[in-house]
Structure formats: C-alpha cells, structure tokens
C-alpha cells in the first residue's frame, strides 16, 4: 500500500477510537459538546477575523474619539493574491441581499401593507384629479367673470358714447 492510504486508514481508526468515550457515557459528553458549539464557532470567527486582519496588514486600535477602528500595521506579513483577498473580503463583509424594511414580517402582514400602499396611491390620485378639477373650475369661473366685466364695460362705453 502506498503511504497516503496507510496514513488515511490510521487516521480514520484514531478518530473512531477518539469517539468511543463519547458514545459510552450515554451522550452526556456529546450534549456538552453541542452546548459549546456556539462559543467554539464564535471563537473560530474571531480567530479568522484576527488572522485576516494580520494578512491585510491591519490592527484594531482605539481612535481619538474612543471608537475601535482598523489601522494599518507598519510591516505587513506578506502580500496577498487577488483570490485570497476577495475570499477574505467576501467573508468579512457580507452584503445584504434585500433592502426591504418589511422582510422580517410574515406574508400576510406584507400583503396588508401593500394593499394599504395601493389604496393610499389611489386616494392620492383621486385627490390630485379633484384638485385639478377644482382648479380648472376656478379658472373657468375667473374667465367667465372677466368676460362679464368686459361686456359690462363695453356696454357702459357704448352708452357713454351715445350721450
């Protein structure tokens, strides 16, 4: 057999032997492990964050205003390749895929909000039409009033010309 295969087989046997104590204690140790998974994941994320900061040549320091900010380190450990940099940036800075302020609500609530928006749009359009018609009627009344005044003035002018 080749050495890699022997190494993999030995590694698998060692993993099985390591798991036997967990199985013997009726799952108590497994339950303890499961309860600690969140803290382990958080530690792993913190370690990854710190490692990425080192690779990027940054460190966390308090600024003048007291906020913790990222500052460059004088000597970088090594230059990054483009792919490594993009992988780290994508994991450190995840972009939100939605900008909907109602994404946390259930579908029925979202539908109700949409209905209210549509009804308010309808009310706004009705109000705009009404205000336009009122404005048009005021304009037509003003034109009629101007025409009436002109007619009366022309009659008065005609009568004064006769005298």
Mean pLDDT to the nearest integer, 88-113: 73
Which residues does 44 contact at the CB level (< 8 Å), separation at least 6? Answer: none
The Cα–Cα gap between 52 and 46 comes to 10
Query: Could you tell me which of 77, 59, 76 has the C-alpha nearest to residue 68?
Result: 59
Q: What is the pLDDT of residues 15-51, one digit of tens each?
A: 767 665 555 555 666 666 666 767 777 778 888 888 8
- Check residues 162 and 138 and name the one with the higher pLDDT: 138
- Joined together, the tokens standing for residue 95 give 């972009």
| CA diameter of the chain | 136
- Check residues 19 and 52 and name the one with the higher pLDDT: 52
C-beta separation of 62 from 68 below 8 A: yes
- Tokens 């967990």 belong to 22
């Amino acid at each position: 057999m080749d050495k890699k295969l022997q190494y993999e087989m030995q590694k698998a046997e060692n993993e099985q032997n390591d798991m036997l104590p967990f199985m013997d204690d009726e799952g108590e140790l497994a339950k303890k492990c499961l309860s600690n998974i969140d803290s382990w994941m958080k530690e792993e994320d913190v370690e990854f964050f710190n490692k990425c900061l080192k690779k990027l040549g940054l460190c966390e320091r308090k600024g003048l205003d007291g906020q913790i900010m990222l500052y460059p380190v004088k000597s970088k450990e090594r230059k990054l390749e483009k792919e490594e940099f993009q992988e780290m940036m994508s994991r450190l800075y995840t972009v939100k895929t939605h900008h909907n302020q109602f994404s946390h609500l259930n579908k029925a609530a979202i539908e109700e909000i949409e209905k209210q928006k549509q009804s308010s749009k309808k009310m706004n359009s009705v109000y705009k039409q009404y205000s336009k018609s009122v404005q048009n009627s005021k304009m037509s009344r003003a034109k009629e009033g101007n025409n009436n005044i002109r007619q009366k003035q022309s009659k008065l002018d005609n009568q004064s010309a006769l005298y």
